[in-house]
């Protein structure tokens, strides 16, 4: 699928991809470049595990935007697919 980069460096992500990834305007994405390829992924909230009297609780380290159900679902999906290590 092709898109165009405008003079400000912006790229339009096609609607079909935005819908599959549950992205809306203003969402944060992570960019990586490797071997001449640009990879764009929905950003996953940084979390830490906080021990409480009732057991461990996941706590957002930094929240750049409002926590919504779509963001939670997207984060869970990314974590299931990537299985990154959790910070404790």
66 within some domain: yes
88 within some domain: no
For 8-30, give one letter per residue: b (16+ CB within 10 A) or e.
eeeeeeeeeeeeebebeeebeee
The pLDDT, as a whole number, for residue 88 is 45
Owning domain of residue 68: 15-82
10 within some domain: no
9 within some domain: no
User: Total domain count for the chain?
Assistant: 1
Per-residue pLDDT of the chain (88 residues; tens, 9 = 90+): 889 999 999 999 999 988 888 888 887 888 999 999 999 888 877 777 888 888 888 877 765 556 677 777 877 777 777 655 555 4
49 within some domain: yes
Per DSSP, the three-state class of 86 is: coil
Q: Specify the length of the chain in residues.
A: 88
């Amino acid at each position: 699928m092709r898109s165009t980069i405008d003079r400000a460096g912006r790229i339009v992500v096609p609607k079909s991809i935005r819908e599959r990834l549950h992205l809306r305007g203003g969402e944060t994405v992570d960019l990586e470049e490797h071997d001449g390829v640009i990879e764009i992924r929905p950003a996953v909230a940084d979390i830490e595990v906080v021990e409480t009297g009732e057991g461990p609780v996941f706590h957002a380290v930094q929240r750049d935007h409002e926590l919504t159900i779509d963001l939670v679902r997207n984060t869970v999906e990314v974590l299931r697919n990537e299985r990154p290590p959790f910070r404790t």
